[in-house]
Structure 1
């Protein structure tokens, strides 16, 4: 048990110490404010330009300045806030994927908040069960394939990717990445640990190469003939569809996209989440920021600029997402999926998905 625990700990936070020191070095003292200035201090592991545009809009509407500390890796951000303890200036924490949300929650970094506006705006399955965090954007974990080599009806579910007929055809990120950890956590929720471990073993045997790169790298690898199938986030596929770069158009030309498990539970979703830090010095300003991020105007901007699905049901999808199809999403409570993260990491280690 001791060995398993240490392996799990390394998996969860292996880059943390280096990341913490690096983030301290690059961030400086960005939180000083005059007595009359209204501020909210935001720690975020999102890295999209549209977020900065939203923060400027928030300042114009509310008069509250967003002091943004952007830290690339969620594990680095978590370790920094833990090390700051009660003296942490963080008011709002934003991170990507339910696995990272669980890690932050497990580190006791949040305090619960519950407002009428948040309750009305965000569906209950996208809210932590104790109201510690709220989803602010969604992206589906889809399957892409080479239309010249794979028939569309050959793959309908994530579970189909374990079929031995796909041996040497599947491409994937490493198991260290939270996207894969969360997908496996969702499979545990749906199918149980034993069946999920068998699936992981067979899936790993079907890999065309050692896992490497990001989602767009997997799609490029399909174009270059290194594999025929990959699991990618929908917004990466949409990014290629919208791109005016001829090279991107070559990559996406023969790619098809499948929304898995449409006849049963629906496609697994990743979420960016936001919550109030446990020792937030500007708690009320932080609540206003999160409420703004789930407002209709902000949700429309996020969807349009970053090809993400809105969490609000009254916000229209962008044309590129509509043209990709109307997927059914898995409606399991995301916090329940997050709780399976340690089990998912253990299984990924055991089957050798590196």
Structure 2
């Protein structure tokens, strides 16, 4: 625990138990991961927070509740889930100087419906024994026959995979992306299955040599005594798109369309996007804060540096339907 986080929690404990105001949050992130942030927010503002953790179905719940919904703010992961909420009409546009200053343009909705808090990179986990770091260069290169029988990945229809395919469409078009998907499929060591950690386990066991995964899973594996051996068997490598950077995704927040406490909701969103809160959140989740002047934790920084892809995430989200169609056309999971 950092000194900063310890100080914020200590300040929380000194906060009066009763607050005159409140704000309600629907979250796809587990309460234990975000509670330090919410405690710090209450310590700073006196506004109490109420959290409903949802494993799935956030948009459907908001639609069913309609104007009666108690939710003021949603916190979720992955651009597809954020764009789904926007398209469903359950969010509203907001603007503030603080949000503009703390959230770079590529990590916020151009119309102001959502704002990024932290990012994670979609990287390659590579066997320390069987892959030289310089062998991994671009996402495009994953279709090269030199990787035949050497790649593991999760389902092609998973949101993380679809986001990467969507970015490939924006960079190269649908026809070239379909050819790329066919090439990657031909290089798979096994049928797509499991989560990102399962792919690293497969590298450790010798089933494959490289896999696609999110950076924060390295931190999660190092937390787990059983999985530490898997984590220590791989390097974290940062491929890029040809002519651009490394693919990233986002954890983000939005104000609901029916927010009963919009002023408090805006205060919470501004707080979550503040440099201090971003660093706490990034530390808890092994992600990257995005506000100017912020830095990842020492552990995350040790995995390596990278330049993020320049595409706005809403541009990527716009290709999701096309990406899913291509994944199904090539029978990627078959």
TM-score w.r.t. structure 1 length? 0.85
How far 1:264 moved relative to its partner? 2.7
* Cα distance between partner residues in 1 of 2:24 and 2:273: 18
Give the paired residue count. 316
Structure 1 residues 110 and 232 mapped into 2: Cα distance closer, same or farther (>3 Å)? same
Partners of 1:88 and 1:353 lie apart in 2 by 39
Q: 1:315 aligns with which of 279, 282, 294?
A: 294
- Report what 1:258 is aligned to: 237
Distance 2:168 2:295 in 1: 29
CA distance in 2 between partners of 1:336 and 1:79 (Å): 24
Give the alignment's Cα RMSD to 1 decimal: 1.7
Match of 2:109, SS state, is coil
Q: 2:284 aligns with which of 305, 328, 343?
A: 305
C-alpha separation in 1, matches of 2:172 and 2:316: 12
Whether contact under 8 Å (2:189, 2:207) holds in the other structure is yes
Q: Which runs of 5+ in 2 are unaligned?
A: 1-17
CA distance in 2, matches of 1:342, 1:285: 35
How far 1:151 sits from its partner (Å)? Answer: 2.5
For residues 184 and 123 of structure 2, the distance between their equivalents in structure 1, rounded to whole angstroms, comes to 16
Give the match for residue 30 of structure 2: 47
Verify: 1:60 aligned to 2:40, yes or no.
no
Alignment of 1:74-223 (within 5 A): 76-223=57-204
CA distance in 1, matches of 2:92, 2:228: 45
Mark the runs of 5 or more structure 1 residues left unpaired by the alignment. Answer: 1-34
- TM-superposed CA distance for 1:105, in Å, is 1.2
Q: Any idea what the Cα deviations from partners look like across 1:142-196, whole Å, max 9, x if unmatched?
A: 0111122222222201111111221221111112311011111111111111111
The alpha-carbon distance between structure 1 residues 140 and 36, as it changes in their structure 2 partners (threshold 3 A), is: closer
TM-score by length of 2: 0.90
Q: Cα–Cα, structure 1 residues 305 and 36, in superposed 2: closer, same or farther, change >3 Å?
A: closer
What's the offset of the Cα at 1:263? 6.7
Aligned residue for 2:290, secondary structure, equals coil
